[in-house]
Amino acid sequence: MNIKYVYILCLLFFFSSKTTVAQDSIVDLRSCLAIALRNNASLQQNQLSVQRANIDYKQARANGLPSLNADLSHSLSQGREIDPTTNQFIDENNSFGSQGLNARWQVFNGFGILHDVRMKAHAKTAGKLEFGGQENELRLAVIEAYVQVLTAKDMKEQAQRQLAVTAEQLRRAEVMFKEGAFPPGDFYDIKGQFKTDENMVLTQAQQLYANRTRLAALMQLPESELGTLQPIDMPVQVQEHDALALFEQAKSVLPKYQALDWRIKEAAQQIKVAQANYYPSLAIHAGLSSRYSSSSADSYFNQSKNNLGKSLGFTLNIPI
């Protein structure tokens, strides 16, 4: 069977199901996939990027709401100073305080806030799809490494069986050669084949270890903790697909390709955010403020009430 169909079948089977495995069980493909998804550092970093995109979207929506800020300050002074409650000079130790409450609402800015919200929404959706595509790529890499480990194991066992057959042939040839009933050329050919088979066993063992190391690296585990891998149960009948048909289906199903459309929409909204700077902007702002001075005989709360100031204004910005 062509190895590419093995990968495709494994993908269809494992992508369509969620896995729950024990922490100490690393024996089958499902366990390897679950541990790789849980331990992969790059995937964890990308997950944080998805969360950051969600926060940016919430902040963009909040930018359309009025802002409210409060401030409270208190200071001590010594020597000649201006009393903020009377605007007159005083020359004594004093303490001053101020309170303020300010509100601002961006009424219009060329729909820049609206386009920014849409841009961040598209970026959030694209980020989720890209994260799903990265998960699929990691799954595919684990499946490929898993199959390569099983293949290398089978190749090593086959090489060991061939070495056993050659060793038995060499044993019989040695007995017959000592009795003079075996041609010397054929005898040394068998001895050479035996050494070749020994080298093949060592080569396959090295390849098996290299494949196990690659699989363990994808799972962020030492090779010694990988354990014995179970064979993959394959269906008896395999449906073949045309390569072009599989590619077209992948473009419509795989999240990595879907994310490209959302990134294009994000870029279009980003252009509209920049174009909003060509339009006039209008903002409304209002505020409350008060002052306190220890030079006055009134209490702190009475001064805050008597020195209360109110403001209301509009800001119109017209780009020229």
User: Residue 236 pLDDT more than 80?
Assistant: no
Other CB atoms within 10 Å distance of the CB of residue 307: 18
Please report the pLDDT score of residue 238 as a whole number.
Answer: 65
Beta bridge partners of 102: 69, 287
| Dist CA 72 CA 21 (whole Å) | 55
- Does the predicted TM-score (pTM) go above 0.85? no
3-state secondary structure of 183: coil
Examine the pLDDT at 244 and tell me if it is beyond 50.
yes
CB contact set of 107 (below 8 Å; sequence gap of 6+): 282, 283, 284
Q: From 143, 139, 148, 127, select the one nearest 18 (Cα to Cα).
A: 139
Q: The tokens of 291 are what?
A: 């002052």
Return d(Cα 284, Cα 281) in angstroms, integer: 10
3-state secondary structure of 14: helix
Percentage of residues in the chain with pLDDT exceeding 70? 90
What are the tens digits of pLDDT across the range 270-302? 999 999 999 999 999 999 999 888 877 788 888
- Which of 61-75, 120-134, 164-178 is the least confident region? 164-178
User: What average pLDDT does the segment 307-318 reach?
Assistant: 93
